[in-house]
């Protein structure tokens, strides 16, 4: 089973405008149209069996509505192959009850995005979310490291992650982008013994620019292959395949893993085995 744990879709009526806005903001090309249908077509081309869709609440008022939509997606998951996490915003007033509702709806976890939400990961408002999710058995998947669309902001550094984990109870935490986008040396130095999971989204390969001259040649390469392989072994059983589609071609994403000098067991685990176990699919 190949399972992509880091994907995004948008409602059909706003997908085109959202993709255009984000392409312009990030100066990177999209590889699908941002719709559920576009994601399913991409999955078919890549031979991917299932995907986790990660919604982001950029304001507190969006939370309940987004969680309702996520629950509806999960109702169709056996047919579509698309599962969804819920979301949470650190300024949502009734966060405690809403997280309980997310769990009651059968969702496996929530997505948070410290950069889009403008709050440091070790802020008390996130710490209470982490604690509550741990109590409820919900997984937390967070954006980690820098963000290609906001290069001067950094609200989830490896240091913040370590500080947060030292203040909360047990919680299953997935750090996107191999633990911290463009901060991989510090991830290696600080986080292997914390029990966190990493996803591979937008970490291997190269940035795909839209051709507006924003990026120079030296900006395009991402993580070095040897560092990725080393981290797979420093975080054993805890590296999960994710693409960040529509911002990465899923077929290329699978190939990048298959071409690595890893054992067959390691590749199968990364591509879906570890996620299947974590999510209970």
Per-residue model confidence as pLDDT tens digits over 104-130: 999 999 999 999 999 999 999 999 999
Inter-residue contact 145 to 108 (CB < 8 Å): no
Alpha-carbon span 77 to 72, nearest angstrom: 9
Which ranges in the chain belong to alpha helices (H)?
A: 12-26, 36-46, 63-75, 77-80, 95-104, 114-117, 124-136, 158-165, 184-190, 225-234, 250-258, 264-268, 274-279
Residue 25: how many other CB atoms lie within 10 Å:
11
pLDDT of residue 176: 99
* pTM of the model as a whole: 0.98
CATH number at 129 reads 3.20.20.140
**pLDDT tens digits, one per residue of 189-215:** 999 999 999 999 999 999 999 999 999
Residue 21: how many other CB atoms lie within 10 Å:
12
Bridge partners for 53 per DSSP: 7, 84
For 158, the domain range is 3-279
Bridge partners for 245 per DSSP: 7
pLDDT of residue 104: 99
Alpha-carbon span 141 to 133, nearest angstrom: 11
Q: b or e along 154-182 (b: 16 or more beta carbons within 10 Å of the residue's beta carbon)?
A: bbbbbbbbbebbeebeebbbbbbbbbbbb
| Domain count for the chain | 1
Alpha-carbon span 198 to 183, nearest angstrom: 13
Which residues of the chain fall short of a pLDDT of 70? none
Inter-residue contact 158 to 183 (CB < 8 Å): yes
pLDDT of residue 161: 99
């Amino acid at each position: 089973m190949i399972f992509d744990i880091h994907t995004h879709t948008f409602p059909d009526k706003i997908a085109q405008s959202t993709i255009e806005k984000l392409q312009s903001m990030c100066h990177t090309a999209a590889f699908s149209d941002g719709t559920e249908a576009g994601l399913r077509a991409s999955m078919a081309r890549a031979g991917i069996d299932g995907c986790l869709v990660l919604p982001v609440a950029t304001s507190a008022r969006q939370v309940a509505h987004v969680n309702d939509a996520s629950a509806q997606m999960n109702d169709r998951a056996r047919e579509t192959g698309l599962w969804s996490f819920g979301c949470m915003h650190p300024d949502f007033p009734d966060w405690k009850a809403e997280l309980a509702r997310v769990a009651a709806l059968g969702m496996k976890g929530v997505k948070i995005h410290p950069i889009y939400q403008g709050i440091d990961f070790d802020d008390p408002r996130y710490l209470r979310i982490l604690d509550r999710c741990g109590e409820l058995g919900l997984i937390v998947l967070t954006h980690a490291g820098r963000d290609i669309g906001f290069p001067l902001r950094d609200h989830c550094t490896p240091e913040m992650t370590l500080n947060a984990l030292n203040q909360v109870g047990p919680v299953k935490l997935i750090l996107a982008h191999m633990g911290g986008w463009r901060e991989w040396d510090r991830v290696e130095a600080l986080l292997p013994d914390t029990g966190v999971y990493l996803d591979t989204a937008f970490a291997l390969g190269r940035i795909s620019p839209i051709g507006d001259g924003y990026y120079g040649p030296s900006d395009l390469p991402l993580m070095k292959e040897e560092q990725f392989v080393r981290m797979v072994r420093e975080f054993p059983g805890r590296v999960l395949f994710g693409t960040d589609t529509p911002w990465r071609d899923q077929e290329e994403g699978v190939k990048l893993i298959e071409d690595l000098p890893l054992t067959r067991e390691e590749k199968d685990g990364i591509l879906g085995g570890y996620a299947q176990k974590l999510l209970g699919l």
